[in-house]
Amino acid sequence: MIEILGKAVYDFLVILPILLIAVFISQIINHYISRKKLDNKIKSKTNIVQASLVGVATPGPLIAFLPLLKVLKEKKVSLGVIVAFMTGQTLIGPIRIFLETSYFGIWFFLAKLTISIFIAISIGITFLFLEKKVSF
């Protein structure tokens, strides 16, 4: 039990810097970027592609980015953009390049990367469509 608790504390300390940076950025967005600036600019399919790619390239666990995503949601950023980021970030991360290529090879990683980006974009577009039909 002590071993599990120690690992949990260690894992928390590893993600703490990323979490603090995400909270800091979310507060900057909350205070300095108006809803009007974000409103129409982040509702297109192009932004879903960009959010998917940024999610794929973002290191660290998703939990560190949830405060930032919450602020973006409160600023009325499309859920399609938010879910595209979340999906890309969850399926692929920069550190996985080294891990997965060493275990499974470069072609496996490239195939997984391509499929993951396609999945993130597809889910983002689906949410963009659902937002018009369903109130979340």
Per-residue pLDDT in tens (0 to 9) along the chain, 136 residues: 788 888 888 878 887 887 788 777 767 766 666 655 555 555 555 789 988 988 888 877 788 788 888 888 888 888 999 999 999 999 987 778 887 888 899 999 999 999 999 999 999 999 989 988 887 7
pLDDT at residue 74 in the model: 83
What the block records as the tokens of 6 is 């120690």
pLDDT at residue 87 in the model: 94
What the block records as the tokens of 109 is 């990683």
pLDDT at residue 39 in the model: 52
Print burial letters for 43-81: b (CB count within 10 Å at least 16), e (below 16).
beeebbbbbbbebbebebebebbebbbebbeebebbbbb
pLDDT at residue 84 in the model: 94
Question: Any idea where the domains of the chain sit in the sequence?
Answer: 2-133
pLDDT at residue 31 in the model: 67
